[in-house]
């Protein structure tokens, strides 16, 4: 176990193929207390084990392709939609597996996961009651519903980061501060970014702003 701990997931998997004894070590839950992923594609590889021993999970995607996922759905081209459709549910489905199999999770970091939903984070907060750290960066579908879920189910939460999440509002942040004053809250740029709105809503906002200018 000690030797395996120095290897990345791919190397562990390769070593496990050399003999039955090392395969047993690979399957030992104690080896998998920490998991780091650098793209949604890595979540589909059979080179890791999910189980109750998992304490620290990170899915951070910093590729240029993340920008496609961040485009508002009604503004995407056919090519962009096809690209997103190929992995849209990948992270959400994986996190649902975490909800079911990793109740002792202490820390979750998601960056560039543009398709992660409020509903998924709510379920995770419910099923992982020991979660202490939740860090969300550039997750565009995260809204004040996630902040509300934190106030309801984040009983063990000590640190919450919602950086560059453009659909978070100042009102939602203030509610977290009111309901969970012990939580260290950081929201870099989030409440100051322009939130998503459908074309019809944008037109109404433009008309309202014009009326204010005329007044």
Report pLDDT digits (tens) over 167-198. Answer: 999 999 999 999 999 999 999 988 877 777 76
Distance between start and end Cα atoms, the chain: 71
107-111 and 133-137: which strand pairing? Answer: parallel
Tell me the three state secondary structure of residue 34: strand
pTM as predicted? 0.86
Q: What's the rounded mean pLDDT across residues 86-105? A: 94
- Which token pair is 90? 């990948």
- Which token pair is 117? 């939903």
Residues 187, 144: contact at Cβ < 8 Å?
A: no
Q: To the nearest whole number, what is the mean pLDDT of the chain?
A: 90
pLDDT level of residue 199 (50, 70, 90 thresholds): low
In the chain, the domains with their CATH numbers are: 32-213 (3.80.10)
Q: What's the sign of the alpha-carbon dihedral 177, 180, 186, 188? A: negative
How confident is the model at residue 31, as a pLDDT? 96
pLDDT at residue 8 is higher than 90: yes
**Nearest Cα residue to 121 out of 148, 101, 158:** 148
Q: What's the rounded mean pLDDT across residues 198-207? A: 54
- Which token pair is 171? 């009102």
Q: Radius of gyration over alpha carbons of the chain, in Å? A: 20
How confident is the model at residue 213, as a pLDDT? 47
């Amino acid at each position: 176990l000690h030797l395996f701990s120095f290897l990345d997931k791919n190397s562990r998997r390769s070593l496990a193929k050399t003999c039955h004894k090392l395969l047993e070590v690979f399957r030992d839950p104690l080896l998998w207390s920490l998991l780091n992923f650098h793209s949604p594609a890595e979540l589909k590889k059979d080179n890791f084990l999910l189980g109750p021993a998992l304490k620290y999970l990170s899915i951070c995607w910093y590729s240029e392709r993340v920008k496609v996922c961040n485009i508002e759905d009604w503004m995407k081209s056919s090519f962009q939609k096809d690209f997103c459709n190929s992995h849209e549910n990948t992270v959400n489905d994986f996190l649902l597996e975490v909800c079911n199999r990793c109740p002792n999770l202490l820390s979750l970091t998601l960056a560039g996961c543009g398709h992660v939903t409020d509903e998924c984070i709510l379920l995770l907060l419910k099923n992982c009651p020991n979660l202490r750290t939740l860090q969300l960066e550039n997750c565009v579908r995260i809204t004040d519903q996630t902040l509300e879920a934190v106030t309801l189910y984040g009983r063990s939460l000590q640190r919450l980061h919602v950086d560059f999440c453009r659909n978070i509002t100042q009102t939602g942040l203030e509610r977290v501060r009111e309901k969970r004053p012990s939580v260290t809250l950081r929201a870099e740029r989030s409440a100051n970014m322009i939130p998503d709105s459908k074309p019809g809503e944008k037109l109404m906002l433009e008309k309202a702003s014009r009326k204010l200018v005329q007044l």
